[in-house]
Amino acid sequence: MRRFPFLLLLACLVSVGVLAGCGTTAPAGRPGAASGAEAAGKLFIIGGGTRTDGLLNRLITEANVAPGRGYVVILPMSSSDPDSAIIWSGEDFANRGITTVGFNFRPGETAAPSRLDSLRHASLIYISGGDQARFMAAVAGTPIADAIREAYRTGSVIAHRDRGAAVMSAQMLTGDQRRYPEYTSTYEVLETDNLDLAPGLGLVDVSILVDQHFVARSRYNRLLTAILESPEVVGVGIDESTAILVHGGRAEVVGESQVVVFHNPDRSTRRQNGKLAGRNLRVDIYLPGESFDLE
């Protein structure tokens, strides 16, 4: 972990605009937000690893933030150390002169109306990496989740990183296995009744499941299990230092590596003695700059 001298750490806290319990209200946000049934915003789903300058610059461009224009809200609830997550996640934005604030909403907390209003009007909402279940425990069924959805509907960019990437869809991979409670980085089997899902934010209308660190950690068994157990879903595996930019039902690959997409077009699933099988499954691998439909 990087170590900052105390004064530099204090400067970061001041520039990010948050300390634990700070009630800072963000400044005026994006102008002219669109309305209508289809979301006007965009999703920037990062597959973990290094957040490169290329990824960060594209994210800033899509969010249309700059010094004196718009602002970024950091949501650190996925992290086991939220205060540090606010600092590290906001540092690159603050160093570019972009107004950045952090709100650590705790489970059961009644969110202040000023913070909810700041969420709704943020140019960019950035959800830090960590445990997606921890994040959903803080926001599920609350006005916080409603404010995030409203921001996305009216034009905000919502960005998730690392394990937090999974929360974009209505159902998310928890990373755990139902039949094997000891955690492993991927599934070592293709077996029935092993897929562990939980409710997500539901920002993506179509049925997709997102996995991260995908190529680097060989997580193919996890998404293969997903499309066999739930053949209506599309499995999207995003590698490290890579993201998908989602808008209008299409996803563009951004960054340095690949995105692997799994389909079960024939809804082909067979079960025998607890094992899973399927035929005519489809795997597509996309490179940076390429796009694909999420349908």
- Per-residue pLDDT band for 29 (boundaries 50, 70, 90) equals low
Residue that wins the pLDDT comparison between 175 and 72:
72
What are the tokens at 10? 């204090």
| Residue from 151, 139, 145, 71 nearest 105 by CA | 139
Average pLDDT over residues 36-58: 88
Q: How many angstroms separate the CA atoms of 15 and 24, rounded? A: 12
- How many beta carbons lie within 10 A of that of residue 27, not counting itself? 13
Decide if pLDDT at 34 tops 90: no
- Per-residue pLDDT band for 175 (boundaries 50, 70, 90) equals confident
* pLDDT for the residue numbered 85: 92
Mean of the per-residue pLDDT values for the chain?
A: 87
* pLDDT for the residue numbered 159: 95
- How many beta carbons lie within 10 A of that of residue 262, not counting itself? 22
pTM, two decimals, is 0.86
* pLDDT for the residue numbered 27: 57
Q: How many angstroms separate the CA atoms of 238 and 197, rounded? A: 18
48-74 exposure pattern, b = at least 16 Cβ within 10 A, e = fewer: bbebbeebeebbbebbebeeeebbbbb
Render pLDDT for 250-283 as a digit per residue (tens, 0 to 9): 999 999 999 999 999 999 999 999 999 999 999 9
* pLDDT for the residue numbered 132: 83
- Per-residue pLDDT band for 30 (boundaries 50, 70, 90) equals low
Going from N- to C-terminal start, the domains of the chain cover 38-293
- Candidates 3.40.30.10, 2.60.320.10, 3.40.50.880, 3.40.50.10490; correct CATH number of 38-293? 3.40.50.880
